[in-house]
C-alpha cells in the first residue's frame, strides 16, 4: 500500500509548551487509521499539524511524498487535506444545501461543485432529504453525516476527523462509524481521533496509541483491540497482562503493517 501521509519527529504545541514531542506516524492510502490515547496526549494536535492549523516547531509532515509543514491551511485544503474539527463545524443558521456548497468553496468551477454535490448525495441521502432545512435543526448524528458529506464535496484525498462520535447517542454513533466506513469504501483515506477507542478501532484498518506526545504503539485496528494492555487502558476491558508495546520505548510507528 502506498504511503499517503507521514509525520517524522514532529514537535508542536501551543505557546511555550510542546504537546507533541517527536511524533512518527505513517498513514497508508485508502485506509482508516484511528489515533487513541489519554486526554492531553496530543491527538487533536496531530490533526492540526496535518491540516496546518498549527505549524510544527521541528519535524516534517509529508503528503504524497511532498513536504507540507510550511503550507497554509488553504493550500493544504486545495491539495485535498480536509479537517473536520471536534466542535460542530456546520453553519447552523444555513441550510444543508448551503453548507454543502461551502464544502466546495475553494473550488473555482461551480459546475464541478454541483456535480460533486450530486455524487455526495448518493452516498449521504440525508443531504437531499433535508436540503432546505437549517443545519442547526438536524440531530447530532445527522449533522455529523452532513459534515462528512461536506468534506466529500472537495473530493479530498485525506480526511481528518476529530472525535466524530463525541456527544452522540449510541444510534447516531453507529451511523457515524458506518459513514466513516463508507468514506473508506469510496477510496478516501481517513485519519481519525477517537476517545471511544473500541468503536474507533473497530471501524479502522489501523490504529496508533499516542501517549505523552509520542506514538507508543501502532498496529492494525484489530490487533490493538486484542492487545490486553490497550484493552485495559483505553477500551475499558479488564486485564492485568502487560503488552510489549505500550509503555515501552516507541517502535518505528507505521500503520501499513505490523508494529
Q: Given the rule CB under 8 A, which residues bind another protein?
A: 73-74, 77, 83, 85, 89, 91-95, 97-98, 100-103, 105-106, 110, 114, 117-118, 121-122, 125, 127-129, 131-132, 134
Q: Based on CB atoms, which residue is closest to another protein, 108 or 187?
A: 108
Q: How far is the CB of 212 from another protein (least distance, A)?
A: 29
Q: What are phi and psi of 160, to 5 degrees?
A: -105, 115
Q: Between β-strands 158-162 and 81-84, what pairing exists: parallel, antiparallel or unpaired?
A: parallel
Q: Based on CB atoms, which residue is closest to another protein, 110 or 139?
A: 110
Q: How far is the CB of 135 from another protein (least distance, A)?
A: 9
Q: Based on CB atoms, which residue is closest to another protein, 173 or 188?
A: 188
Burial class (CB in 10 A: 0-12, 13-18, 19+), 122: exposed
Q: How far is the CB of 20 from another protein (least distance, A)?
A: 21
Q: Based on CB atoms, which residue is closest to another protein, 115 or 178?
A: 115
Q: Based on CB atoms, which residue is closest to another protein, 92 or 170?
A: 92
Torsion of CA 219, 221, 227, 232, to 10 degrees: 120
Residue closest to 80 by CA, chosen among 203, 191, 165: 191
Q: How far is the CB of 131 from another protein (least distance, A)?
A: 5
Helix (H, G, I), strand (E, B) or coil at 215: strand
Burial class (CB in 10 A: 0-12, 13-18, 19+), 94: middle
Q: How far is the CB of 153 from another protein (least distance, A)?
A: 10
Amino acid at each position: 500500500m502506498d504511503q499517503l501521509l507521514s509525520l517524522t519527529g514532529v514537535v508542536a504545541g501551543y505557546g511555550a509548551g510542546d504537546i507533541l514531542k517527536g511524533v512518527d506516524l505513517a498513514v497508508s492510502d485508502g485506509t482508516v487509521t484511528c489515533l487513541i490515547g489519554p486526554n492531553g496526549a496530543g491527538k487533536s494536535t496531530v490533526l492540526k499539524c496535518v491540516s496546518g492549523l498549527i505549524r510544527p516547531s521541528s519535524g516534517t509532515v509529508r503528503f504524497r511524498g511532498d513536504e507540507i509543514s510550511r503550507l497554509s491551511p488553504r493550500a493544504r485544503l486545495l491539495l485535498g487535506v480536509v479537517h473536520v474539527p471536534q466542535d460542530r463545524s456546520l453553519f447552523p443558521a444555513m441550510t444543508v444545501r448551503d453548507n454543502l456548497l461551502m464544502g466546495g468553496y475553494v473550488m473555482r468551477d461551480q459546475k464541478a461543485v454541483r456535480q460533486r454535490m450530486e455524487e455526495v448525495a448518493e452516498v449521504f441521502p440525508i443531504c437531499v432529504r433535508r436540503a432546505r432545512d437549517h443545519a442547526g435543526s438536524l440531530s447530532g448524528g445527522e449533522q455529523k453525516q452532513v459534515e462528512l458529506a461536506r468534506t466529500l464535496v472537495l473530493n479530498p484525498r485525506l480526511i481528518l476527523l476529530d472525535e466524530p462520535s463525541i456527544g452522540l447517542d449510541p444510534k447516531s454513533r453507529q451511523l457515524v462509524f458506518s459513514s466513516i466506513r463508507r468514506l473508506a469504501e469510496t477510496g478516501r483515506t481517513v485519519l481519525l481521533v477517537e476517545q471511544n477507542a473500541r468503536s474507533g478501532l473497530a471501524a479502522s484498518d489501523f490504529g496508533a496509541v499516542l501517549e505523552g506526545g509520542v506514538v507508543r504503539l501502532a498496529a492494525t485496528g484489530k490487533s490493538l483491540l486484542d492487545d490486553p494492555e490497550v484493552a485495559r487502558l483505553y477500551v475499558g476491558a479488564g486485564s492485568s497482562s502487560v503488552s510489549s508495546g505500550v509503555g515501552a520505548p516507541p517502535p518505528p510507528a507505521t500503520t501499513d503493517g505490523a508494529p
